[in-house]
Structure 1
Amino acid sequence: MSKKIIKSNFIDSADVAQLNLRANYYMLIKDGVIVDLVTEIPADWSAVSIVDYSAGFVIPPFVDAHVHAPQYNNRGLGLDMELLDWLDTYTFPEERKFGAADYAKRTYKQFINALWRNGSLASVVFASIHKGASLELANLMIAAGLKSFIGKVNMDQNSPDYYIEDGAESFAETRAFIDAIPHSARVKPIITPRFAPSCSAELLVKLGDLAKQSGLSVQSHLSENQKEIDWVKSLFPNCESYGDVYDSCGLMVPDYKTIMAHCVFLKESEKRLLSDKQIVVAHCPHSNANLASGIAPIAEFVARDIPVALGSDISGGNDMFIGRAMQLALMLSNMYWVHEDKSYGKLSFENVFYFATRSGGKLFGELGAFDVGYAADFLVIDDSGLRDLNERNLKERLQRFVYCGDDRQISERYIDGEIVKKPFDI
């Protein structure tokens, strides 16, 4: 039995609209799990040593709910293009390279180091179509000690001839990938049709059946770009909407088991579907802005009880620090409120911090907050270099870290009550 006490100022989300701000508290950790947060140490814990971070503050880890690992080398490239042209020009040629084992391993080590550096200790990741490289990513993530869902991508139609699978082979390789991932409490497979245009109806149905049989989660893209939506309509004319394509194939698994990236242009029926089934929207503001896709109505999603998490969406997005995604989510919400629709108000800072931590953490179970029984996963923030001449409260210090800080203020990273060091020395 392992016990640990962390002394600090603790900030987490009580719910989507409220922060918990606890100054000078002690976190009691037993076997990697939070036992309590208290202002006085209980007598039966008096012999346990205290790790003191009270000069700074402690927050839950960021959760990157949508990121493409094989696009890591493409960060910052082609971001004056629109989605479909960008995929053909930059994304598919780069992902093709992950058929080469050494290229994949070297890139994925850099990618995992970047997740760690930026405090994204949990992530939901697209790999490539290659089973071998996808397994390499899973094994490296396990070795790093981070928490992740990792998906081998499925693509059997409307894709370049150099980066496409046979449908039967794609499904068989997905099953083999799922079976081959080593048993791990931290790293799990996830079913990953790239997006509806790149998957035949037959393959989508097979993947939906696999989701039902295996109990695995699902990730994909939904309504990112108007041209993409029109394309889906032409490919699946019997479906009422883009979301209905996935739902009719059994891929809208309810209760935080499905993550759909973007959701910029949803129909009313799709909004009801996501709310009723508690499908998680991975909001990726950098990618939506970079590729001129549009502004998702996230404040409306909050009002309608549609779950939202945040994603960096590398490399449609260009920044892996989820604090930047929080910033831009707020900025775009402001612009949407000014120029599009005032019906649902604007997002608050409390909203986006919740998206980045507790909401994303729900994908992994009891993670992303400091509730009793939750995993003792957290970031230690040293904000001494961000101080000014005024006394600031905890919320203001957190806001300044998000807006003016970056990975350099993250002094320690904990998973299951233990410090996690830089994964790979490269």
Structure 2
Amino acid sequence: MTGRPGGAGTDIGLISLDEAGARAAARVAPVPGVLELPLVEADGRVLAEAVVARVDLPPFANSAVDGYAVRFADLRPGAETRLPVLGRTAAGDPVGTLGRGAWRIFTGAPVPDGADTVVMQEDVTLSGDEVILPSQSRLGANLRRAGEDVARGQEVLPAGRRLRPRDLGLLAALGLERVRVRHRPRVALFSTGDELTEPGRPLKPAAIYDANRAMLRALLARAGADVVDLGILRDEPTDLERHLREAAGACDLIVTSGGVSVGDADHVKAALSACGSLDLWRVAIKPGKPIAIGEAAGTPFIGLPGNPVAVFVGFVFVAWPLLARLAGATAEAPVVFPAKAGFHHRKKAGRREFLRVTLERRDDGAVIARKHPGEGAASLASLAQSDGLVVLAEELEQLEEGSTVPFLPYAGLLG
């Protein structure tokens, strides 16, 4: 990869993506209020306070395998040991007490008092009422001690954690039935454009279906928001201003798509200026340069472009972090994977560029990123048919085929 900062073709007057995200996040604070929910309703919710274990996990020493519990001191060093079988315990049975001998035990069963090692049943030989144990047994083998996973009093999940199914499993194992979480942000959503038609209705000449709102509703839901869908608004400044004021009074954030560029029919910026303020509207990214960030009647506002790919990129890298802050969630940087570029690409310096790619694994194990042929910002097929985004830094002007590039899978971007 080659490039020079500030080279020919650099856009002037654009704000960096990092600064845009910081400015957007600085406009909001977590939505106030806490509620207590049963675990079955808590998936995707944000923890309002840290969770501290009230019990040990596991709560008692137990066997990790089916086998025989013994005292390691009763085993002969470097030789087989023959011991009588003194008892039997399955999961749920009371704890036994082991003298000199072996104790038949099953996975999850409490280890008898006095035992400190479990030998797998596959490694022993039965001889009448006795068991022959191998010479290579190890102290503490196959024994799960009380509290070795989680100790009582230990913080297991921090405040701000967005709960996932595996977190709920841990909380249930610790005996929690309910959990305290933050209220979800309430987000008003609408599209603008006289050319837009609701899916399912007949298309008039020169009209298109509104794809952005369907995508944004799903993205907002994944971000943990309650969506207030205001539909399609026409390109009429007074009507737009009225809807902005109404949404501001009922919601924590307003998200729109379309109408934030420089065309004669792009009225969202004017409507926003009439009832609030515009902080910035040109971000140094491709696609997605026209992104409006401001406030409408005191409520934070994000105006995304009209092209669907630009909408997706702008939402993921600007709106998603802001929503995390509104929800009181701890922001997590996306995981980046290295891949080999299976293409050559030229770009302008000064803008961070996001390319839609599919992955291909070669016989030698190398992962190759192939650029999707649909490069336009309006190509929804390129989003649906690709695996993720390759990110090209601002200073880069030319990407050579075979270069290592950072790859962001869609699954890692959407929490």
Give the structure-2-normalised TM-score. Answer: 0.29
Structure with greater proportional helix content: 1
Report which of the two structures shows the higher radius of gyration computed on alpha carbons: 2
| TM-score, normalised relative to structure 1 | 0.28
